[in-house]
Structure 1
Amino acid sequence: MERNTEKKRLKIKRKIQEENEPGKYVRLNKPGGSQDEGNKVKKFEKKLKLEKKLKKLKSEVMSSDNEESEVKTTELSPISQELDINKVLNQLNFDKPSIISGIHALFKILEQKKNENQLLDLDTPIFLLLSSFKVPICPARTVRLPLKHMLHDEDSTVCFIVSDVDGIIKKEHEKVAEYYEKLFIEKGVETKINKILPLHELKTEYNEFEMKRKLLATYDVFFVDGKISKYVSKHLGKIFYKKRRLPIPIRMEHGMAQKMKYAMLRTSINIQGHGNSYSVQIGHCHMKVMEIFENILTACEALAKEFPGGWENIKVVNLKTDLSMAVPLYISLKNPDEIQVPKIRGKRAKSCNVYSDELSTKNNSKVTVYPSGRVLVEQLSAKKRKRNN
């Protein structure tokens, strides 16, 4: 151990001498030296440590987002195809006849407006509208809920956003697409992918708002490589976020084909601490009544676990579309004073730490680096120097 430390000190001394007299190589045969050289070695070691910390902090700040504005997604897990209807009804205090009659009432409203608006020939989405007793205190996040029946059929168009490939020029988008086509065949992906969109093509050709809107209108489902999901969500912006069409992150590992199937059986809800109203899509107008009923039960069962405060915090559940009034399905008669405000803390990012150390390039000074990137240099007083010593 002593030999290794002495070797390190010798290397540092050589670096100091090369900085003072560039072009010359001074061989240090014996360890030790004068006191001035020892002080220079200590200062140089502190300088190296501080530079490493600064580089590490800079990379963490660039890669991570602000905790409050971060959009978090839950991992995809296998969905049980067996739904115990009676168990879920008792757990959520639902009444099966009232829910089915509510779905029939919504379809009657849609039939009345079908003659007035021809857009109902398309898949008009059906939403669950939720209202909570208390506004939760939590960071913004996107929760993906399981469904019994898929929202998209076999004719739905799929776009997969992939990262660039090492060894292939970024501008050659066709070669990147061919590479991933072969990879999907090797992974056994059965889902029909209509468009493979490389990251470089997304940044260059879909940078303007109009192009992003065309991309949103062209495809029904969006997938993205898990490595670049955070950057892609930021690049696509609020137009994808408001339409609940943010790309679903998929890890390009084993079991990729099964993960894509599970992802197609999911819907998303945006949970924020700014209000008590939330909406989640659970079907469309061309689905059957029992399919929508089973999707409602499956989504609400997951909401009881994922929603801040649990099912006790949910006051009203309505069923509606963009063209109809809300049809009530569930109303809670609990006393709001008995329910506490749910508080959820997000995971603290590594970049949230504050680093401080003695500044070697300026005497009696201290440098502090904050998560925002702000650097503060302080002149230490005599009292603070005594405390530090």
Structure 2
Amino acid sequence: MLSSQQLTDLIKKGKGEAKERKFNEAVEVILTLREVDAKKADLNVNETVYLPHPTSKVARICFIGAGDMALRAKNAKVDAVIDPSRLESLAGDKKEAKKVARSYDFFLADTALMPRIGKILGQSLGPRGKIPIPVPPNAPIEAMIQRMRTAIRVRSRGSLGIAAKVGERKLSDSELAENVLAVVQAVEKKLPQGEKNIKSVIVKTSMGKPVKQAVGQS
């Protein structure tokens, strides 16, 4: 895999391909893959990646549950709480269920409600890779919510390219390189042959030209 210095140099080159804008451009990484079948189960990447240096976009989080855990989630400034009665109201309303699925980046849920959530929201959350993370009764939900604010979702979408926003231009080259490395390491773990399945790393700003570094080459 590329070294930290190679990734830093790639970021610097990517920034250099785009002139300074009046807004803070996003920086994106694209991993191209090899020797995997995009249409088969050997390419099933749906990872929550906690970036060392958060982007300006704060993840929106919804908690599904009630009681003390819901109160703790509210106190931790979760974006929304869906209690059991609200959950049941979504059972016959596919349009509203899809709206809920689109509205939040991540879902947390009381472990006891997971079977019911699967039946009611599974068809809306599953295809988006947003199945809730189960939260046991004594789990530190406050810490979970705060940590997930810095997270991004990295998914394969039936192609040999996996893209993710890793920050904005205002971050330093080394900070962006660390974010790219976090994404690469998360993806590697889900590939049949790990880093051998990564063909190249591409970096670009939202308005700039892509720059590519083949893996295994200088």
**Same fold by TM-score greater than 0.5:** yes
5+ unaligned residues in a row in structure 1: which ranges? 1-87, 115-119, 163-175, 335-389
* SS of residue paired to 1:135: coil
Amino acid at match of 1:100: K
More helix per residue: 1 or 2?
1
Q: Residue in 1 aligned with 2:62?
A: 159
More strand per residue: 1 or 2?
2
Residue 200 of structure 2 is aligned to residue 288 of structure 1: no
Q: Residue in 1 aligned with 2:89?
A: 204
Q: Residue in 1 aligned with 2:215?
A: 332
Q: Distance in 1 between matches of 2:45 and 2:121?
A: 16
Q: Distance in 2 between matches of 1:105 and 1:206?
A: 49
Match of 2:199 among 295, 315, 318: 315
CA contact (8 A) 1:225 1:249 kept: yes
* SS of residue paired to 2:6: coil
Amino acid at match of 1:99: I
Amino acid at match of 1:330: Q
Q: Residue in 1 aligned with 2:33?
A: 132
Query: Which whole-Å deviations, capped at 9, do the CAs of 1:57-82 have from their partners, x for residues lacking one?
Result: xxxxxxxxxxxxxxxxxxxxxxxxxx
The structure number with the bigger radius of gyration is 1
Q: Distance in 2 between matches of 1:232 and 1:211?
A: 14
Query: Which whole-Å deviations, capped at 9, do the CAs of 1:218-248 have from their partners, x for residues lacking one?
Result: 4454322344446536644566556555544
1:286 deviates by 7.2
* SS of residue paired to 2:142: helix
Amino acid at match of 1:328: V
- 1:221-240 matches, within 5 Å, as 221-229=106-114, 232=117, 235-236=120-121, 240=125
Query: Which whole-Å deviations, capped at 9, do the CAs of 1:346-385 have from their partners, x for residues lacking one?
Result: xxxxxxxxxxxxxxxxxxxxxxxxxxxxxxxxxxxxxxxx
Q: Larger relative contact order (C-alpha < 8 A, sep ≥ 6)?
A: 2
Q: Percent identity?
A: 19
Compute the TM-score of the two structures, normalised by the length of structure 1: 0.43
5+ unaligned residues in a row in structure 2: which ranges? none
Q: Distance in 1 between matches of 2:135 and 2:176?
A: 27
CA contact (8 A) 2:15 2:204 kept: no
Compute the TM-score of the two structures, normalised by the length of structure 2: 0.69
Q: Distance in 2 between matches of 1:213 and 1:201?
A: 14
- 1:82-161 matches, within 5 Å, as 90=3, 94-105=6-17, 108=19, 111=21, 126-136=27-37, 138=41, 140=44, 142-151=46-55, 157-161=60-64
Q: Which runs of 4+ in 1 moved over 6 A?
A: none
- 1:220-299 matches, within 5 Å, as 220-229=105-114, 232=117, 235-236=120-121, 240=125, 245-271=130-156, 275-283=159-167, 285=168, 288-290=171-173, 291-299=175-183
CA contact (8 A) 1:143 1:271 kept: no
CA contact (8 A) 1:144 1:269 kept: yes
CA contact (8 A) 1:141 1:270 kept: yes
Q: Distance in 2 between matches of 1:197 and 1:235?
A: 13
Q: Distance in 2 between matches of 1:125 and 1:232?
A: 34
CA contact (8 A) 2:33 2:200 kept: yes
